[in-house]
Structure 1
Amino acid sequence: MKKFFESTFFISLCHPFSSKNRKEKRKEIGKRREAIKQKIFLENSQLIFQKLSSAIQSFNGPIKVWLEFGTLLGCYRDGDVIAHDNDIDFGIEDSIYVNKFINHLANNGFNLVKYFIIRSRSDKDLDNFISEYTISYKDLVNIDFFVFRKVGNKKYSYHFDTGNEGWGGRLIVNCIEMANFNLKECCFKGEKFYIPDNTEEHLASIYGNDFMTPKIYSYCDRDKDLEYVINDAYALVCVNKI
């Protein structure tokens, strides 16, 4: 019933003649949902990091997995998860073991929610590349695994924006190029994980040189100066129907 009162249909009924009021109502509902997600995340993050560390350590295969993006930033800058965050980010290096690892997580209490696959006419190595998996733990918190491609002395990660009208659900593909790195062990939330051995340089290549200054971050409104669009490619999101 609550979802009905937050639906586009109900909002339109309440504000049939004012697009401004409808927009403000959607914004209000969005903020309320984010606050609930953040509360659930903070209440369950300790348990989920324990489960993740255990699952990663028990995987029988040469896989490279590390704290990444907002989770890495919180670890390095704050020594904890960022207070306004509501999900967990990991990097994972592309290899033949990635899919096996995701299946391993599914057998250890996690659920695959969705994944992103890139299509490219000009780059056969990028075509059909699954660049991101989203999993969840008991539908409480989403964990994103970003699959990094290593080419020479560089690593590449891929991120997506909604396509323009007429794209039919296809997503714009953005790329972040960063220097290659090795991994080093760290303790985070009382558990064993890995982080890039050049964490400061790595975070600066993603968030800019002022990454140590806390800011309110929004993915949709993020600074894209350090990203570039791959013009001859698009991505599709594939939802796992359990």
Structure 2
Amino acid sequence: MEKIITPLGAYYFSPKILYLGRKKINRQIARQNLSDFNRIAQKNKLYFGLLYGTLLGAIREHDFIEHDEDIDLFVLSEQRNLLLQMLFELRENGFEVVRYDRRGLISIMKNNEYIDLYIFGPLKEGIRSCCGECVLEKYLLNTVMYAFLSENVLIPADYEEYLLFEYGPDWRTPVYYTDFKVSKMATIMMFIKEKIKYRLPDVLFYKYVQRLEKKLIDKFDAKMNVFIKSNQLNAES
């Protein structure tokens, strides 16, 4: 058992190994999970929205992407404690935490389908990050309500610009990034790696992830510079 320290006390959970190629998303269950989460979030006044593949699917397919694996949602670090408090209510409604990265990623699962909750905090002016993944702050703060699968959820107001930046000019064309065939040995290695990460004290954990995060941030900065130079993004935004 692992634990998360929340404002309401310790939350204990049994982690699961989540990895690329684990299984295809079950759209029907995912729809219900999003509906249940949305209801609880609205009750608690949690500000969240669609991001990554879930946003891409909402705009392009008007559904979850058939070959996706999970639901991707963003939350702001200003409401981190509120989200942690909600974990107990989410548990009462069938959601269990199955992954926790102390830098700001929480995965909750219900009926074998999971939601990734990315808690984005300020990195530098105009940019927020979560576990090394960077997003322009305006995409998280300037949002509009969008009707998705009978749910009203927030998405970036300039969602087309975000999708162009995140996935490139061919974002309207589906890309199959895995065949969902992962070897048993690869699964075992991922399990061992995750177990070690949970056991590392903060000083070693953050030292371990520092290099990984720097590579992601450098990649984002380079991508940003190219995007601005191509006049696809207003540098003043």
Q: TM-score, normalised by structure 1?
A: 0.58
Residue 84 (structure 2) pairs with residue 102 (structure 1): yes
Point out the structure with the larger helix share: 2
Could you say what the CA RMSD is over the residues aligned between the two structures, in angstroms?
2.7
Which letter does structure 2 place at the counterpart of 1:81?
F
Point out the structure with the larger strand share: 1
Separation of aligned partners in 1, 2:105 and 2:119: 6
Match of 2:149 among 189, 209, 231: 189
Residue 133 (structure 2) pairs with residue 133 (structure 1): no
Q: Which runs of 4+ in 1 moved over 3 A?
A: 150-153, 232-236
Report the equivalent of 2:203.
Answer: none
Q: Which secondary structure does the structure 2 equivalent of 1:76 belong to?
A: helix
Which letter does structure 2 place at the counterpart of 1:148?
F
Q: What are the ranges of 5 or more consecutive residues in structure 2 without an aligned counterpart?
A: 1-18, 179-205, 211-237
Is the CA contact (8 Å cut-off) linking 2:49 and 2:155 kept in structure 1?
yes
Q: Which of 1 and 2 has greater Rg?
A: 1
How many percent identity over aligned positions? 26
Q: List per-residue Cα deviations over 1:101-134 (Å, max 9, x = no partner).
A: 23314313221122112xxxxxxxxxxxx32111
Question: How many pairs are equivalent?
Answer: 160
Residue 30 (structure 2) pairs with residue 45 (structure 1): yes
Residue 161 (structure 2) pairs with residue 176 (structure 1): no
Q: Which secondary structure does the structure 2 equivalent of 1:217 belong to?
A: coil
Separation of aligned partners in 1, 2:88 and 2:54: 21
Q: Displacement, 1:53?
A: 1.5
Is the CA contact (8 Å cut-off) linking 2:41 and 2:47 kept in structure 1?
no
Separation of aligned partners in 1, 2:87 and 2:104: 17
Is the CA contact (8 Å cut-off) linking 2:123 and 2:129 kept in structure 1?
no
Q: What are the ranges of 5 or more consecutive residues in structure 1 without an aligned counterpart?
A: 1-29, 118-129, 160-173, 219-231, 237-242
Distance change >3 Å, CA 43–CA 175, structure 1 → 2: closer
Separation of aligned partners in 2, 1:101 and 1:177: 20
